[in-house]
Amino acid sequence: MNDAGKKETHMSAITRRTFLAAATGFASMPAVQSALGAMPASGEVDIAIIGAGAAGIAAARRVAAAGRRFVVLEAADRIGGRCITDTQTFGVPFDRGAHWIYTPETNPLYKLGGAAGLTLDRAPGDQHVRIGRRYAREGELEDYLAGYVRAQRAIADAARARGDVAAAQVLPKDLGDWRALIAFILGPLHTSHDLSRVSVDDLARAADRETYAFCREGFGALLASLAKSVPVERSTPVTRINWSGGLELETPRGRVRAKAVIVTASTNFLASDALVFRPALPKRQLDAFKLLRLGSFERIALDLSGNPLGLPKDELVFEKADGPKTAALFANVAGTTISQVNVGGGFARDLSAGGEKALIDFAQDWLAGLYGSDIRKAVKKAVATQWDKSPWVLGASSAAAPGGAGARRILMEPLGGRIYFAGEAAHETLWGTVNGAWESGERAADAALRRFGPLKSAAPKSRPSRSGAPRRQPFVPHPQPRRNP
């Protein structure tokens, strides 16, 4: 840490275990022949895959390994879905979407990235809490952590005993002035939703995300490396799926007939009716889209040369907030001069509605309130994401509404033995993560491939995660304070 950081004599830290989003994959796969996935002249394939995000890429790799004819249809002019690495804005990689690779010890994507020659680093374990212009002292952190643990236990207990209510309803009453920060971390930061909109069962069932790594070249770059052997028809939105009798997909470039289709579009996009199904989908599926709607999560990236915050690389900082208008600071990302201010939930949605300027203005004002007004002068360049306005996504990540935890299993049900849904929303324990999307893509591909006979045992597959009964604790583990020197 530089001299500016040493001036803070009470800069106590908490061991960071889990924050933001990540991915998973499988260990190896034979090269895909480009002819397998090209837009067929005949318009006929075994399996059509809608979307070239993590779920679509995973599904395509599985189908290709099985030797079946397929096509990947992507509406955007790029691949990756909610995984984008921007190298143009700042001249260094900046992940506009997912960033973290959770549980690298068992995450096949971590190994795949390394095998592809990418640089994968373990995330450092410290985080800090800012109280006004100073850092929280150890006694204050202990009060915060005690409340945090009580909140976790209350969520787990409610999932077992109270039924599927809103997570906000079960928070302990004695969290005091730490309540806003705890609610922000458990809700907007982790789920992109306010806790009043999150099913306590869904939150309690989520898998632990205790350790994590990141790709120095960017998460989007890692995913793109896995898609190199997968031919993708870009700028080819599917506007209609006719599934009465045969199965036919309509696109601006023509029609595709398939024996099965894997749909990886986001729940918000599916709920928007931009993709028409004829006949209409059953009410059961339509309700599931709405119960699993995406929340809001935006990143404001600031180029802060000279490290005016006095923080080491990849440092996470929260504030002791007094309400929902708060954020998380992710400083000096991967050792660059780029720091991110992350906002989520309803507050992020409202900010984003005001455009990029409103997001950037908030980020600078928020940092100035914590570190002094001179911070504004140190900002060389700033950009903000606007996922709510991304036409092919329309949000950040899913969380089940109160009473809607069972909607994930409904989304995983095949329709007519020919239509399969995949994506982060179609995973019961890894929802909201790219590894969940990846596993669901593989699961949907396996189900579709069974139409053609037994699966080939040689086809590689990611290690499945445990699912089913709610876990004893919600996915945010207990942070542990680090003693001051």
Q: Tell me, what's the pLDDT at 1?
A: 38
Average pLDDT over residues 298-304: 98
- 3-state class of 148 per DSSP? helix
Report pLDDT digits (tens) over 389-403. 999 999 999 999 999
Using CA atoms, how far residue 27 sits from 133, 424, 443, in Å, is 47, 20, 16
With b for 16 or more beta-carbon neighbours within 10 A and e for fewer, the 313-342 pattern comes to: ebbbbbbbbeebebbbbbbbbbebbbbbbb
In sequence order, the β-bridge partners of residue 338 are 303
Say if residue 355's pLDDT is above 60.
yes
Using CA atoms, how far residue 203 sits from 39, 170, 207, 390, 399, in Å, is 40, 12, 9, 26, 8
Helices 219-226 and 54-65 cross at an angle (nearest 10°) of 20
First CA to last CA distance, the chain? 14
Structural domain boundaries of the chain? 3-21+86-215+295-392+472-482, 34-80+227-293+398-452
Domain 34-80+227-293+398-452 has what CATH class? alpha beta
Q: Tell me, what's the pLDDT at 477?
A: 31
Structure tokens at 295: 């929340």
Q: Tell me, what's the pLDDT at 167?
A: 97
The more confident residue out of 77 and 12 is 77
Which residue's structure tokens are 């969290």?
A: 175
Average pLDDT, the chain: 86
Report the topology of domain 3-21+86-215+295-392+472-482: Polyamine Oxidase; Chain A, domain 2 (3.90.660)
| Helix (H), strand (E) at residue 134 | strand 134-135
| Lowest pLDDT segment from 2-16, 149-163, 297-311, 360-374 | 2-16
The more confident residue out of 475 and 39 is 39
Amino acid at 315: E
In angstroms, the CA 448 to CA 395 distance is 28
Say if residue 464's pLDDT is above 50.
no
Instruction: Please name which of 432, 459, 429, 449 lies closest in space to residue 26, comparing C-alpha atoms.
Output: 459
Say if residue 220's pLDDT is above 50.
yes
In angstroms, the CA 407 to CA 405 distance is 5
Structure tokens at 266: 């986001």
Asked if residue 198 lies in contact with residue 400, where contact means CB atoms within 8 angstroms, the answer is yes
Residue 246: burial class (beta carbons within 10 Å; 0-12, 13-18, 19+): exposed
Q: Tell me, what's the pLDDT at 454?
A: 83
Kindly report the pTM of this predicted structure: 0.87
| Helix (H), strand (E) at residue 13 | strand 13-15
The single-letter DSSP state of residue 430 is S
Report pLDDT digits (tens) over 39-83. 565 679 999 999 999 999 999 999 999 999 999 999 999 999 999
- Strand 254-263 and strand 419-421: pairing? parallel
In angstroms, the CA 178 to CA 474 distance is 19
Q: Tell me, what's the pLDDT at 16?
A: 38
| Lowest pLDDT segment from 33-37, 78-82, 235-239 | 33-37
- 3-state class of 197 per DSSP? helix
CA 141, 146, 148: angle at the middle one, nearest 5? 90
The more confident residue out of 70 and 475 is 70
The more confident residue out of 458 and 197 is 197
- For a pLDDT cut of 70, what percent of the chain falls above it? 85
Report pLDDT digits (tens) over 85-105. 999 999 999 999 999 888 788
Instruction: Please name which of 319, 407, 406 lies closest in space to residue 371, comparing C-alpha atoms.
Output: 319
How remote is the C-alpha of 207 from its chain's centroid? Answer: 14
Q: Tell me, what's the pLDDT at 318?
A: 97
Q: Tell me, what's the pLDDT at 261?
A: 98
Say if residue 35's pLDDT is above 50.
no
